[in-house]
A and B are shown apart, each in its own frame.
Chain A
Amino acid sequence: MKKLATIILMAIAALATTPSLADTYNVRDFGATGDGVHIDSEAINKAIRAAAGKGGGTVYVPAGRYACYSIRMASHVELHLEQGAAIIAEFPTDSAGYDPPEPNPHSKYQDFGHSHWQNSLIWGIGLNDITISGPGYIIGKGLTREGDRRPGIGNKAIALKECSNVVLRDLGMVQCGHFALLATGVDNLTISNVKVDTNRDGFDIDCCKNVRINSCSVNSPWDDAIVLKASFALGYFKDTENVTISDCFVSGYDRYTMADASWQLDEPQAPDHGGRTGRIKIGTESSGGFKNIAITNCLFEHCRGLAIESVDGGDVEDVVISNITMRDIVNAGIFLRLGARMRSPEGTPVGSMKRIHISHVNAFGVDSRYSSIISGVPGHKIEDVSLSDISLHYKGGFKPEDASNPVPEQEKAYPEPWMFGTVPAKGFYVRHAEGIRFDNISFHFEKPDSRPLFVTDDADGLTFCGISEDGKPAMAAGNSPTAR
């Protein structure tokens, strides 16, 4: 009897010292099957509501395959996908599907995908303190990357609007439709150690403030990998600002072959016919501006080059990009574009681009047709840009006559290097710009290229120091680039 009492006391003591599991909500307890056949989203939503009803907690998704339509996040809830767990976006049927897209009177300023959030696999609007965590997977096989607007169609894996204090970490995400993540108007956002292999955009960070993206891998051959935007989807102007992107890998391998580590390269073309995409970009949606952005220690492979674009009136200011290495780049190595597409409310003035500093960049196997481009539009110059300690290895192969190609202004065009055709410079084409400093730039060409190294047009205050071509000094002191 005494022995039994001792055991009971020990058991009570053990229970007293075990962390409480009362704030963990296992989706199986709410009816989820994880069999990959039955639709489990309602059970998961029940668990989320139960957690939220108690002031918050962790919604635990154990190993299994959970076929789902829309999962509605709630404040103070972590959705945790255990190792071996996968939330799978199911195809809609005539009688079941994703939540309908909510009305948005401002949808004409950006495309359908950017303008709605509810038509997603996982969504939240007006929430705070939420986490979605792995190591499990989100597989969006039933999401569309196309523009299908029929009821029941879902097009984003995770969509968040006007939320704060959001963490995404340790997840795997595959085949995620239009966006793996659309975060619009989200403040205090951290994305860490997330691996994405998708069929359109990876992370779209739109009108967000204070964002940390680190240690992520994003393979997105059919659209941009990590992209900062500032659309008018919220119905008001909001900058994307105070953002760091660090220690990330972006690429354009064949879809889903990063996730399975087979690294295939048999599909060179993207739907827009501009070659593999998969890059880090600022823009295109740019009604608002981009301020105080740092991108560092990142790798690009088999994709397009670094792009900074403002075409809808946004101001791009105080951007530092450093320690970037890129291989096998299918278009311009570096592309800075201030344009005037003006997909913003009427009366919005053309934006600006200034105080952009790019250093310690290595780019190998860069397609030479568009070399690298810095271009504003007439009356609106890109200002105060420094490029230093940069090594660009171009494929070369262009002829003297290519140096005389006319370069259309294309002020209102969608910004991609191809809008200029073959540019007349083999190193940098600089137009409508001032205060551009080139310091310690080495150019290398796989094949001879007869175009001038630099061609400028309506460009003032350019400085060149330490320019070399295939290991030899390329611009003696006092020499000027080819001006048009």
Chain B
Amino acid sequence: MKGMTIAVACAALSISMHAYGQPPRVFAPAEGAGGVLIGVAGGGTDQWVCPDGDNAFDGQIAVRHMQTDDKRSLAIEVTNLSLPDSTRLIWVIGGFDAPAPAAHIEPEHCADNVFSVEGNQVAIYHGEVMHLRFSKALVPPGSDVRLCDGRKQDSPTATFNSGKKTDAPVLGGSVTMERGKPVYISIGRPRQKESYTYSELPRLFGRKNNTAR
């Protein structure tokens, strides 16, 4: 984390669900690759949330996100403020071959994305042979992680349960949202010296370190 400063801190104590029938909008680094979908499921809820917008969860969750100063990486903090503890956060990362930061995960930008998952660290190989590109993600520890179908984005659980038989692979995860305990996701193409660990993510948002690596 040393040497990393935050250029933008966009805080939203509540955020909107996406418009029904429209592809969900992603949280994306301004100059990185790929994007993150955030969804909330359980307790009668199964909705995507938007990176910006109105209050749709009535202040029941808080989402903050921030870019690194080189705009190559993005970190997201999600906190369950008042939803039941059984509520699950469903996250999806994908669309790494988009030529420019995109508002959505487009299936055509997922075709050859390869996800290497090691605990809560994800290496993403994209680009093309002999011109390979590499991105990294950190996801909440304890997530149930699986490959999913990037063509099925109707709802968080629809994506999460869509299976890996697809030409548009994305990576999905599901983790319980314990009330008051933030979870973090980061995504981007950090330069080596700016690479960070999950335990360092809380400090980005002014919190004490998490013990998970």
A residues apposed to B, CB below 8 Å:
91-94, 142, 144-146, 199, 222, 266-267, 269-274, 416, 418-419
Interchain CB contact under 8 A, A272 and B125: yes
Tell me which of B119, B125, B164 contacts A273 (CB under 8 A). B125
B208 is an interface residue with CB less than 8 A from chain A: no
Tell me which of A144, A199, A266, A273 contacts B129 (CB under 8 A). A273
4 nearest CB pairs, A to B = A271-B125, A273-B129, A266-B164, A91-B119
Interchain CB contact under 8 A, B114 and A270: yes
Residues in A neighbouring B118, C-beta threshold 8 A: 142, 144-146
Residues in B neighbouring A199, C-beta threshold 8 A: 116
Interchain CB contact under 8 A, A274 and B129: yes
B16 is an interface residue with CB less than 8 A from chain A: no
Complex: chain A residue closest to B166, CB-CB: A266
On whether A94 and B199 interact (CB within 8 A), knowing A267-B147, A271-B116, the answer reads: yes
26 contacts between A and B (CB under 8 A): A91-B213, A94-B211, A142-B118, A142-B119, A144-B118, A145-B118, A146-B116, A199-B116, A222-B116, A266-B165, A266-B166, A267-B147, A271-B116, A271-B132, A272-B125, A272-B129, A273-B112, A273-B114, A273-B125, A273-B127, A273-B128, A273-B129, A274-B129, A416-B129, A418-B129, A418-B130
B residues apposed to A, CB below 8 Å:
112, 114, 116, 118-119, 121, 123, 125, 127-130, 132, 147, 164-166, 169, 199, 211, 213
Residues in A neighbouring B128, C-beta threshold 8 A: 273
Complex: chain B residue closest to A97, CB-CB: B213
Known: A94-B211, A145-B118, A418-B129. 12 other contacts (CB 8 A): A144-B118, A266-B147, A267-B114, A267-B164, A267-B169, A269-B112, A271-B116, A271-B125, A271-B132, A272-B125, A273-B125, A274-B129
Taking the closest CB of chain B, its distance from the CB of A276, in whole angstroms, is: 11
Interchain CB contact under 8 A, B132 and A272: yes
Pick the most buried of A93, A142, A145, A146: most chain B CB atoms within 10 A of its CB: A146
Residues in B neighbouring A94, C-beta threshold 8 A: 199, 211, 213
Taking the closest CB of chain B, its distance from the CB of A1, in whole angstroms, is: 67
Residues in A neighbouring B123, C-beta threshold 8 A: 146, 271
Complex alpha-carbon distance, A274 and B165, angstroms:
19
Complex alpha-carbon distance, A92 and B130, angstroms:
32
